[in-house]
């Protein structure tokens, strides 16, 4: 979802001060397709308070493996390079916003 960060490496982005939500998904995954409008809604709710990245596990198997992704969608929130929250399955925007808010408060 974030295009302006193409020059920064994935690992650099995860070390950000602001929360980074990574959506590990696959094109063939039905529930993953359900996440697209949810993530759009989250971006509208959270604005610049969160960076949202989408990682296709089929195109990035090494990244998926390094985070031990077993099922998709799997959502992971990072802050300063650390995993703050992780969950597999479809998660609603309000719940994600609460996780982002909590990650921001832990500053």
Known catalytic membership, residue 32 = yes
Mean pLDDT of 94-104: 93
Q: What is the pLDDT of residues 35-68, one digit of tens each?
A: 999 999 999 999 999 999 999 999 999 999 999 9
Q: Is the pLDDT of residue 19 over 70?
A: yes
98-105 contacts at long range (C-beta below 8 A, 24 or more positions apart):
100/19, 100/21, 100/42, 100/46, 100/49, 100/50, 103/19, 103/77, 103/79, 104/18, 104/19, 104/49
Which residue out of 32, 53, 72, 76 is catalytically annotated? 32
pTM to 2 decimal places? 0.90
What residue segments make up the domains of the chain, in order of their start? 13-105
Checking if the pLDDT of 17 tops 80, the result is: yes
Structural fold of domain 13-105: Glutaredoxin (3.40.30)
Q: Among residues 29, 45, 63, 90, which one is catalytic?
A: 29
- The pLDDT value given to residue 7: 53
Q: Is 8 a catalytic residue?
A: no
């Amino acid at each position: 979802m974030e295009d302006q960060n193409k020059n920064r490496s994935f690992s650099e982005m995860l070390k950000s001060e602001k929360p980074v939500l990574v959506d590990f998904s696959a094109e063939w995954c039905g529930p993953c397709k359900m996440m697209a409008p949810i993530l759009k809604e989250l971006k509208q709710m959270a604005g610049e308070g969160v960076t949202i990245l989408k990682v296709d596990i089929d195109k990035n198997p090494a990244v998926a493996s390094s985070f031990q992704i077993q099922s998709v969608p799997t959502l992971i929130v990072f802050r300063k390079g650390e995993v703050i929250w992780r969950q597999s399955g479809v998660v609603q925007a309000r719940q994600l916003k609460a996780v982002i808010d909590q990650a921001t408060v832990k500053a």
